[in-house]
């Protein structure tokens, strides 16, 4: 089944060319089926790239997905054209005022991890998003900084600044093979990492509501779950394209910033070589499993979201 995207959205043509099934809203309206409504709160500067990455993953399941793009109400994006934002995004204030509900919410990362959460310019509104999600969203998924922010808001889970950036592709252990979110996962998983902060297992262990599903001996916890509140937090980047780490590395080199060659990414750790994608299958598994869990547990009537246990 396809993902529903506006036909003028760049992701529509990009995913179509890749073989992902996409459908216009007009065509979707003719089908006698309730699609899953997934909201993407996109905090990344390069919004189009991020749209494509997440739409590719959640659009690869057998279920019809209706993707809604949301932005912070007052924050001005300097890296995405204003007409793109005006055409395809709605500010959170407008979404909240509408009273609509969603089966799932993805909150992306943001390049602001050096700041304390409370110093982020849109932190107050983001806290409202998180609180709103408890009554208007069935299941939430926070990614990288977005996951750290959610875990801080709901559980007081602190983030810690690293001396050196965790940057590259690192092996992670599957700590919960019976988890429905890790269905089909190998025991050992390679995952892209790009961050200056971390959460620590001791802090997670001190919070009984949280459990760690994936972790690395080198870069720490990766995927944690709050089962009672139907929340997942992932601190690394299974959604990354093959060349995303290369783009980040080349950008910092060009700017003269100190940056290590991303570990275990280029063949022979040689940045003149073309990197290969060794995480794509697990990316599809994780997001496909999340979508399937939503489908199995969400109410048929969206108005019941927020009232179900």
CATH number at residue 99: 3.40.50.880
**For residues 106 and 256, what is the distance between their CA atoms, to the nearest angstrom?**
33
> Is 261 within the bounds of a domain?
no
Confidence (pLDDT) at 18: 73
Q: Would you say how long the chain is, in residues?
A: 309
Tens of pLDDT, residues 227-272: 999 999 999 999 999 999 999 999 999 999 989 999 999 999 999 9
Tens of pLDDT, residues 144-173: 999 999 999 999 999 999 999 999 999 999
Interacting residues of 70 by C-beta distance below 8 A, sequence separation 6+: 39, 40, 41, 42, 89, 90, 91, 92, 95
The total number of structural domains that make up the chain:
1
> Is 223 within the bounds of a domain?
yes
- What is the set of active-site residues? 144, 237, 239
10 band by pLDDT with thresholds 50, 70 and 90: confident
> Is 165 within the bounds of a domain?
no
Lowest mean pLDDT among 28-37, 72-81, 98-107: 28-37
**For residues 238 and 53, what is the distance between their CA atoms, to the nearest angstrom?**
10
The residue range of the domain holding 16 is 3-160+197-239+279-304
**For residues 25 and 10, what is the distance between their CA atoms, to the nearest angstrom?**
15
pTM, rounded to two decimals: 0.89
Of the spans 53-62, 74-83, 197-206, which averages the highest pLDDT?
197-206
> Is 48 within the bounds of a domain?
yes
Q: Which residue has the tokens 């934002």?
A: 85
Confidence (pLDDT) at 104: 98
> Is 180 within the bounds of a domain?
no
Q: Is 125's pLDDT higher than 80?
A: yes
> Is 102 within the bounds of a domain?
yes
> Is 13 within the bounds of a domain?
yes
Q: Region 195-222: what's the mean pLDDT?
A: 98
Per-residue CA distances from 76 to 39, 40, 43, 69, 88 (Å):
20, 17, 11, 15, 15
Helices (H), the chain: 10-18, 25-28, 47-58, 82-88, 92-98, 123-136, 145-155, 201-205, 244-254, 280-297
Interacting residues of 188 by C-beta distance below 8 A, sequence separation 6+: 171, 172, 173, 174
| Dihedral angle sign, alpha carbons of residues 75, 238, 68, 224 | negative
75 band by pLDDT with thresholds 50, 70 and 90: low
Confidence (pLDDT) at 79: 61
Confidence (pLDDT) at 5: 73
> Is 258 within the bounds of a domain?
no
Per-residue CA distances from 177 to 2, 122, 190 (Å):
29, 37, 16
Q: Region 57-74: what's the mean pLDDT?
A: 91
Q: pLDDT averaged over the chain?
A: 91
């Amino acid at each position: 089944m396809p993902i529903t995207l506006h036909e003028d959205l760049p992701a529509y043509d990009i995913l179509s060319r890749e073989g992902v099934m996409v459908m216009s809203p007009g065509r979707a309206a003719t089908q006698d089926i309730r699609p899953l409504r997934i909201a993407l709160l996109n905090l990344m500067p390069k919004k189009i790239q991020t749209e494509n990455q997440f739409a590719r993953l959640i659009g690869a399941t057998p279920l019809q997905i209706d993707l809604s793009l949301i932005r912070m109400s007052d924050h001005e994006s300097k890296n995405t054209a204003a007409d793109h934002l005006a055409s395809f995004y709605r500010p959170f204030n407008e979404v909240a005022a509408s009273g609509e509900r969603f089966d799932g919410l993805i909150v992306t990362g943001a390049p602001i991890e050096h700041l304390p959460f409370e110093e982020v310019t849109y932190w107050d509104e983001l806290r409202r998003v998180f609180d709103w999600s408890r009554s208007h969203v069935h299941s939430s998924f926070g990614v990288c900084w977005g996951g750290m922010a959610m875990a801080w808001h709901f559980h007081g889970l602190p983030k810690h600044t690293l001396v050196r950036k965790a940057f590259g592709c690192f092996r992670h252990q599957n700590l919960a093979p019976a988890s429905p979110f890790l269905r089909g996962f190998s025991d050992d998983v390679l995952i892209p990492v790009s961050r200056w902060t971390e959460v620590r297992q001791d802090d997670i262990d001190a919070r009984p509501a949280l459990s760690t599903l994936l972790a690395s001996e080198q870069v720490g916890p990766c995927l944690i779950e709050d089962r009672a509140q139907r929340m997942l937090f992932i601190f690394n980047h299974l959604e990354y394209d093959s060349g995303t780490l290369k783009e980040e590395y080349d950008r910092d080199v060009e700017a003269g910033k100190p940056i290590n060659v991303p570990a275990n990414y280029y063949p022979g750790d040689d940045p003149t070589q073309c990197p290969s994608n060794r995480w794509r299958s697990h990316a599809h598994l994780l997001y496909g499993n999340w979508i399937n869990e939503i489908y199995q547990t969400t109410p048929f009537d969206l108005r019941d979201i927020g009232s179900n246990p």
